[in-house]
């Protein structure tokens, strides 16, 4: 029997069907593009080339993709968080025990994305932190990303492949190895992607990416400066964590939440919870406290340090 073209035998294991409606994007936070991201992503609709975005954590890699998808009409979106513990059952699928006593096959993320694309005629798959996948798991992605546009599922004796009139746009994101990546990407996997390297945005661009409403100018200026300093210190090895755009956005959100609460100094609380809280090593805590004192003044440092 030719496994590449065989269909499921009615007496064999059946699989759970998927529906596009369950994977439509419902709500995405605001995103301000600074790299013509949406135009780049629009180009993928024609090229169908998989895209890998590499860059530090918290700078909007996945958010930019989700926002782009949300602007499209009825485009199913699957976001899968890769990890060191990701197994073949997660990517390909596995049999499950149903309450009826049957053992249907639950499709993994790859055949699910293919099925959704075939049904909706277009779908988007985003593989988060693909560098966290073990080398053997990375290889499972290869047939999806090249001319084959599919994969064979042995348990079902079925090949899932994209139909001629269907498109599956595949994104992947990855942090630098010193910023959360676990494995080097296989060369054969990298060669299947177009690769776009992102860095932290310039301060003027970063200011446009976060909500500055009700944030005192001097405090916001100090947070941006502190973030820049942590990034430089991470780069030279003095710190193992750099303040990201996401951290800044969260810090300002916290400030707005506490600025009117009696007995709470919102600026001090933000520095404690969103800056100092990211560090465990005593020498790094001392470094950050020193930078807080330098930027915000010793009074801010003295009061905030009492909560440590």
Question: What is the C-alpha separation between 188 and 193, in angstroms, rounded?
Answer: 9
- 305 has a pLDDT exceeding 90: no
Going from the C-alpha of 280 to that of each of 5, 54, 239, 241, 272, the distances in angstroms are 55, 26, 10, 10, 13
Q: In what order do the strands lie in the sheet with 77-81?
A: 77-81, 122-128, 167-174, 51-54, 194-197
Q: Which two tokens stand for residue 187?
A: 């060369």
pLDDT band at 202 (very low <50, low <70, confident <90, very high): very high
pLDDT at 5: 37
Question: What is the C-alpha separation between 158 and 20, in angstroms, rounded?
Answer: 21
Nearest to 127 by CA among 192, 71, 74: 192
Question: What is the C-alpha separation between 249 and 283, in angstroms, rounded?
Answer: 26
Of 16-30, 58-72, 119-133, least confident by mean pLDDT is: 16-30
Question: What is the C-alpha separation between 17 and 1, in angstroms, rounded?
Answer: 25
Q: Does domain 20-197 have CATH number 3.40.640.10?
A: no
pLDDT band at 27 (very low <50, low <70, confident <90, very high): confident
pLDDT at 7: 39
Of 4-8, 19-23, 287-291, least confident by mean pLDDT is: 4-8
- 128 has a pLDDT exceeding 70: yes
pLDDT at 307: 43
Q: What is the mean pLDDT of residues 74-97?
A: 94
Question: Are 37 and 64 a contacting pair, CB within 8 Å?
Answer: yes
Q: What is the mean pLDDT of residues 112-129?
A: 96
Of 48-62, 101-115, 130-144, 225-239, least confident by mean pLDDT is: 101-115
- 189 has a pLDDT exceeding 70: yes
- 268 has a pLDDT exceeding 80: yes
Question: What is the C-alpha separation between 106 and 108, in angstroms, rounded?
Answer: 6
- Could you tell me which residues are beta bridge partners of residue 125? 78, 170
- Up-side HSE of residue 18: CA atoms within 13 Å toward CB? 25
Of 26-30, 200-204, 206-210, least confident by mean pLDDT is: 26-30
Backbone φ/ψ region at 274: left (φ over 0), alpha (ψ -120 to 50), beta: alpha
**Non-local CB neighbours of 159 within 8 Å, separated by 6+ positions:** 3, 4, 5, 6, 150, 151, 152, 153
Q: What is the mean pLDDT of residues 214-232?
A: 97
pLDDT at 2: 41
Going from the C-alpha of 216 to that of each of 80, 95, 221, 253, 255, the distances in angstroms are 38, 55, 9, 13, 10
* CA 301 remoteness from chain centre: 34
Question: Are 55 and 61 a contacting pair, CB within 8 Å?
Answer: yes
pLDDT at 226: 97
Rounded percentage of the chain residues whose pLDDT exceeds 70 = 91
Q: How much is the mean pLDDT over the chain?
A: 90
Q: Determine how β-strand 93-95 pairs with β-strand 105-107.
A: antiparallel
Domain ranges for the chain: 20-197, 203-305
pLDDT band at 6 (very low <50, low <70, confident <90, very high): very low
- 177 has a pLDDT exceeding 80: no
Question: Are 20 and 116 a contacting pair, CB within 8 Å?
Answer: yes
How many Cβ atoms are within 10 Å of 185's Cβ, its own excluded? 21
SS percent in the chain: helix, strand, coil, step 5: 45, 15, 40
Q: What is the pLDDT of residues 249-260, one digit of tens each?
A: 999 999 999 999
Q: What is the mean pLDDT of residues 18-43?
A: 93
- 12 has a pLDDT exceeding 60: no
pLDDT at 195: 96
Question: Are 20 and 164 a contacting pair, CB within 8 Å?
Answer: no
Nearest to 230 by CA among 290, 181, 177: 290
Q: Is 204 helix (H, G, I), strand (E, B) or coil?
A: helix
* CA 214 remoteness from chain centre: 29
The residue with greater pLDDT, 5 or 44, is 44
pLDDT at 301: 59
pLDDT at 303: 47
pLDDT at 180: 52
């Amino acid at each position: 029997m030719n496994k590449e073209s065989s269909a499921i035998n009615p007496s064999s294991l059946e699989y759970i069907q998927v529906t596009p409606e369950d994977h439509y994007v419902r709500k995405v936070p605001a995103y301000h593009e600074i790299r013509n991201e949406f135009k780049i992503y629009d180009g993928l609709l024609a090229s169908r080339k998989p895209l890998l975005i590499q860059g530090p954590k918290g700078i909007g890699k996945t958010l930019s993709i989700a926002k782009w998808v949300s602007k499209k009409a009825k485009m199913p979106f699957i976001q899968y968080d890769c990890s060191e513990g990701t197994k073949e059952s997660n990517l390909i699928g596995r049999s499950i025990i149903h309450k009826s006593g049957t053992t249907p096959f639950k499709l993994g993320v790859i055949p699910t994305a293919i099925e959704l694309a075939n049904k909706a005629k277009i779908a988007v798959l985003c593989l988060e932190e693909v560098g966290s996948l073990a080398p053997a798991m990375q290889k499972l992605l290869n047939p999806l990303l090249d001319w084959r546009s599919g994969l064979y599922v042995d348990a079902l004796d079925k090949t899932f492949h994209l139909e001629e009139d269907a498109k599956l746009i595949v994104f992947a994101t990855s942090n630098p190895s010193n910023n959360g990546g676990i494995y080097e990407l296989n060369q054969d996997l990298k060669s299947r992607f177009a690769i776009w390297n992102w860095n932290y945005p310039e301060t003027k661009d970063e200011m446009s990416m976060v909500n500055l409403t009700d944030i005192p100018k001097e405090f916001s200026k100090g947070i941006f400066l502190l973030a820049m300093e942590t990034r430089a210190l991470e780069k030279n090895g003095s710190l193992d964590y750099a303040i990201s755009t996401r951290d800044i956005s969260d810090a300002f959100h916290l400030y707005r939440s506490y600025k009117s609460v009696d007995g709470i100094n919102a600026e001090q609380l933000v520095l404690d919870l969103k800056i100092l809280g990211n560090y465990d090593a005593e020498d790094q805590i001392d470094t950050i406290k020193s930078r807080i004192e330098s930027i915000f003044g010793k009074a801010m440092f003295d009061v905030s340090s009492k909560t440590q």
